[in-house]
Amino acid sequence: MKVDIIIPVKEINHYIYESVPEILKLDYEDYGVIIFPDNVNGESFPRTTISATGPMGPAQKRDLALKHSSADIIAFIDDDAYPRPDWLKNAMKHFGNPQVAAVGGPAVTPAHDSFLQRVSGAVFLTPFGGGVPERYWPIGPVREVDDWPSVNLLVRRDVFEDVGGFNSDYWPGEDTKLCLDIIRMGKKIIYDPDVYVWHHRREGLIRHLRQVGRYGLHRGFFAKKFPETSLRFKYFIPSLFTIFLISGIFLLFTGNGLLNDLYLIGMVCYVFILILAMCQIWGKEKDIAVSIACVPYIFLTHVWYGIQFLRGLLFTKELKSKLRKT
């Protein structure tokens, strides 16, 4: 089966100069690469097509695969990610089942990322941090899933065309909408821990929280718009914790001993969860400094995601990507 690897990017950047040489090491014969920057400035790479799109969002650029590719499988990856050499070989074995429409795998933080990038990535290595650690670390068995990020997602071209591609009004979150459309067709999405890419993380706390906030806002909005895969209790937990945290601060001034005691017990339990999360991260990262630095990151991730989730759920009537073409 022919595969085209699709990379949306604003401009040909240093990540592209890192990722394309790694892509060219793939242990798979019949594949090509298509890069969609806003503009082309004479760059070229082997077995790669670079096509200027003008200013538009990542989802719209990925949709251009239907125009520029006739491959059987469209493999989506971000510009700041690059695959392990067996990426395509491991993914393609699942497409022997005609019911399988898409395959995804983990996007692991590279060991050579900076300390703060590794901290940002490590937050998601525990269920107590991001909730879905298999998206960031190769764990668990091969299984069906109903939502997977487009940083590492391979889709049958005919299915991608049948569902109309990504919904370009949403970013981030367009991948959630695509996966939901695939599930509604009665097709399967497979997670395989050996369908493996590396993915650079955000540098610094502010950039980390900005990304987390976008995720929370869209998930909150999707909880009411696409409840089949987004109206789940786990997505509400950070918001419930944030409400508990703020309410407890006010309760401390009421003088109600029982309520104060319950609040303190809850906070002690939360501290225990943070310690457990730190130990789980240590078990994967093997770096005590990264594990300790994750503690404030996880706390702030919970609070900011929780606030933005509530904003998306309660106060957002429509959510359009500011990056879509006007």
Summarised one tens digit per residue, pLDDT across range 42-68 is 899 999 999 999 999 899 999 999 999
- Tens digit of each residue's pLDDT (9 = 90 or more) over 143-189: 999 999 999 999 999 999 999 999 777 877 899 999 999 999 999 99
220 domain-assigned: yes
User: Is residue 325's pLDDT more than 50?
Assistant: no
210 domain-assigned: yes
The CATH number linked to 133 is 3.90.550.10
175 domain-assigned: yes
Last residue of a domain, one of 150, 180, 202: 202
- What is the per-residue DSSP string for 3-45? EEEEEE-SS--HHHHHHHHHHTT-S-SSEEEEEE-SS--S---
- For residues 58 and 188, state if they share a domain: yes
- To 5 degrees, how large is the angle CA 280–CA 286–CA 287? 105
- For residues 55 and 35, state if they share a domain: yes
Give which of 131, 128, 85, 120 is closest to 285, Cα–Cα.
120
Last residue of a domain, one of 155, 174, 202: 202
- For residues 234 and 175, state if they share a domain: no
**Alpha carbons 149 and 107: distance in angstroms, whole number:** 9
User: Is residue 130's pLDDT more than 90?
Assistant: no
Residues spanned by the domain of 267: 206-315
- For residues 133 and 157, state if they share a domain: yes
- For residues 162 and 59, state if they share a domain: yes
324 domain-assigned: no
Total structural domains within the chain: 2
The two beta strands, 48-50 and 31-36, are parallel
Contact 122/109 with Cβ under 8 angstroms? yes
User: Is residue 322's pLDDT more than 70?
Assistant: no
pTM, two decimal places: 0.93
- For residues 237 and 153, state if they share a domain: no
96 domain-assigned: yes
- For residues 212 and 300, state if they share a domain: yes
- For residues 170 and 217, state if they share a domain: no
- For residues 91 and 32, state if they share a domain: yes
66 domain-assigned: yes
- For residues 185 and 234, state if they share a domain: no
- For residues 238 and 141, state if they share a domain: no
321 domain-assigned: no
322 domain-assigned: no
- For residues 214 and 196, state if they share a domain: no
- Identify the pLDDT of residue 132: 92
User: Is residue 324's pLDDT more than 70?
Assistant: no
Last residue of a domain, one of 155, 182, 202: 202
Residue 124 DSSP code: G
Region 270-291 average pLDDT: 96
